[in-house]
Structure 1
């Protein structure tokens, strides 16, 4: 089995989850990532406030990458620094 197959990223589509629940779920999932692991979130707007949260709480430990930037769908990869 290849490295990519064993480290598949979890994709979390939060478009149908109420905002207050999103802000509890996403940080909790990130906290469980091992160094070098990543997850993706899919939302219906630019998640800038979430990015600011991760920057203030995790600093350089959270690498944020936009994979898709609207207008209808935004996809972001969050990777825990190795």
Structure 2
């Protein structure tokens, strides 16, 4: 059974900075393989990309749709199931 290519859009500019990464991680974890998150932010999300690499290695694809200078747009596809017991980056205390 093929999963529909659903995209969850999150404008992180409207979310308190302390809450952003936890919300993004929770949203990504709830996706089915083949679904994606599209983020809109006011800065290059390099720290988030590094945390995804540590936390969800092999389970995501990261594509910049827009790169500054005033806003960045990123599509994060879930390309594989998340491995149970994958190490936590510790950022969100999760």
TM range (shorter): 0.7 to 0.9
- Aligned pairs for 1:1-82 within 5 A: 7-82=5-80
Deviation at 1:7, TM superposition (A): 3.4
Matched pairs, number: 77
Q: Report the TM-score when normalising by structure 2.
A: 0.77
Distance 2:56 2:7 in 1: 19
Going by fraction, where is helix more abundant, 1 or 2? 1
Please, what is the CA RMSD of the aligned residues? 1.1
Deviation at 1:20, TM superposition (A): 1.0
Q: Report the TM-score when normalising by structure 1.
A: 0.87
Distance 1:74 1:64 in 2: 13
Distance 1:42 1:52 in 2: 17
**Structure 2: which 5+ runs fail to align?**
81-94
Distance 2:14 2:35 in 1: 25
**Structure 1: which 5+ runs fail to align?**
1-5
